[in-house]
Chain A
Amino acid sequence: MSASLASECNEVKERYDSCFLKWYSEKFLRGTATSDECDPLFKQYEKCISKALKERGIDSMLKEAREDNRENDAEHMRPKR
């Protein structure tokens, strides 16, 4: 698995990634997913990584980029029908 930006998040990231890969290949790709079963694990991972991003000052940069992205999505990624 790929490493996390923050080494303290590696463990929880690995747990989430494993769950996701299983869900993605066994349910999502087969079209049988009804919900994102790994969400509870993601929440734990998110908590760790959010803190790390904040500490590194990346959170504000991200927020800005995602806002730009949203504008861009509205323009270019609208559903075709």
Chain B
Amino acid sequence: MVKFYSSSDTYTYPFTAVTLAYFLRYPNPYSTHVLSTDTIARHYDPTTQRLTTIRLHLKRSKLPSAVLKLIPRSLIGASAGGDTQAYILEKSVVDVKEGWMDTESRNLEWTGVLSVVERQVFRRPGCTYGDDIRQTEDEDEGLWKGMEGAARRHGFIAQSSENTAADKITNNGETTEVASSVTLHSHIGEKWKKRSAASSTAPTEEKVGFFKSLGTASLQRSIEIIGLKRARRSQPNAKEGMKVVLERMREGGLVGVLEGMRRDREMILGGHAHAFKKGNTSGEEE
């Protein structure tokens, strides 16, 4: 497991509003490549008062030509132009009492080649959730520590915490911290090896053979670099999308968000898919 990207940021909206916007973030004008979103599992635990949600997103994406050169299209189900669809599994846990939301998204397909795991932790200022996780999980924990120090110095991490109802979104100075990381797990051949060891059914020899012929180490590196570039490029759009949803919420409440969504959905169906994209022609994630 290699972590390639991490950042921390602050939204100028209350924590409760940010959690609601997270659930309502598709569609938005920056997510016209997201075709569908379904909740496939949801659990509310009355004891802990935590809500766990698993959602499945279908995204249209265009594979970079570099990837198409490296991996046969038949393996990833892409068209000649590199158009493909990808399922993304998203898991989130919200604890409104403690003031944190922990989210993780991963691609469901071609995981035998590369899993991109995106994690975002939203926190009410003063909440310490996630501190320990970062330290045990990250290989470069110094990076996180450094950022948090900076956040503290700049006053982003305050010690007070107030609970606010979601319908009262006023800009009264409340903020929400967000820490994001993208982890790339590339394991070419690994899964097939695991599978063939676990069962007697023959592994997909053709695929294993293909990767062997290319030299796994260099191929893996190339794919990781491409994955990193994509993940990094998708971050600004993801953030802009959340901001649009939060602004709509501030202006028109839930109704305002739903009305905006309806317009975005019409636009997507109408085929004006990339009208709002900011210099991003390759249909990136998020």
B178: chain A residues at CB < 8 Å are none
Q: Is the CB of A5 within 8 A of B36?
A: yes
Q: Which of B171-220 contact A (CB under 8 A)?
A: none
In contact, B108 and A61 (Cβ under 8 angstroms): yes
Bound together, the chains give a CA A11 to CA B14 distance in angstroms of 32
* Size bracket of the A interface: 35 or more
Determine which of B37, B56, B129, B165 lies in contact with A30 in the assembled complex, contact meaning CB atoms within 8 Å: B165
Q: Which residues of A contact B51 (CB under 8 A)?
A: 24, 28
Q: Which chain B residues border A58 with CB–CB below 8 Å?
A: 56, 87, 108
- Given A28-B51, A66-B54, A76-B133, are A3 and B19 neighbors across the interface (CB < 8 Å)? no
Contact indicator B20/A29 (Cβ below 8 Å) = yes
Residues of B within 8 A of A17 (CB): 39
Q: Chain A contacts of B94 at CB under 8 A?
A: 28
Answer whether residue A1 sits at the interface, using C-beta atoms and an 8 A cutoff: yes
- Whether the Cβ atoms of B36 and A25 lie closer than 8 Å is no
Kindly identify, within residues 20 to 43 of chain B, every residue whose CB is under 8 Å from any CB belonging to chain A.
Answer: 20, 23-24, 26-27, 34-40, 42-43
Contacts of B26 in A (CB 8 A): 2
Which residues of A lie under 8 Å from residue B111 when comparing CB positions?
Answer: 65
Contacts of A30 in B (CB 8 A): 163, 165
Instruction: For B42, list chain A residues within 8 Å (CB).
Output: 20, 36, 42
A residues less than 8 Å from B165 (CB atoms) = 25, 29-30
Q: How far is the CA of A58 from the CA of B20 in the complex (A)?
A: 27
Given known contacts A2-B26, A5-B36, A31-B97, A25 and B261 CB-to-CB distance under 8 angstroms: no
Verify A1–B258 contact, CB threshold 8 A: yes
Inter-subunit contact B39/A16 (CB<8 Å): yes
Task: List which B34-81 residues lie within 8 A (CB) of chain A.
Answer: 34-40, 42-44, 46, 49, 51, 54, 56, 58
User: Which single residue of chain A is at the shortest CB-CB distance from B269?
Assistant: A3
Cβ-based interface call for B96 (8 A): yes
Contacts A21-B254, A29-B166, A62-B56 given: A45-B39 contact, CB under 8 Å?
yes
CB distance B46 to A49 under 8 Å?
A: no
**Contact A76/B91 with A1-B258, A5-B36, A29-B16 known, Cβ cut-off 8 Å:** no
In the assembled complex, B162 has its CB within 8 A of some CB on chain A: no
A80 to B136, CA, bound (A): 11
In the assembled complex, the CB of B164 is this many whole angstroms from the nearest CB of chain A, namely: 8
A residues within 8 A CB of B97?
A: 31
Contact digits for A1-23, partner B, Cβ 8 Å, 1 yes 0 no:
11111000100010011001100
8 tightest A-B CB contacts, nearest first: A2-B37, A36-B44, A25-B166, A5-B36, A29-B16, A29-B166, A2-B26, A3-B36
Since A62-B108, A80-B132 are in contact, a sample of 4 more A-B pairs with Cβ atoms closer than 8 Å, ordered by chain A residue number, is: A4-B36, A9-B38, A20-B39, A77-B133
Seen from chain B, the residues whose Cβ lies within 8 Å of a Cβ on chain A are: 16, 19-20, 23-24, 26-27, 34-40, 42-44, 46, 49, 51, 54, 56, 58, 87, 89, 91, 93-94, 96-97, 102, 104, 106, 108-109, 111, 129, 132-133, 136-137, 163, 165-167, 254, 258, 261-262, 265
Binding site for B on A (CB under 8 A): 1-5, 9, 13, 16-17, 20-21, 24-26, 28-31, 33-36, 42, 45-46, 49, 53, 58, 61-62, 65-66, 69, 76-77, 80
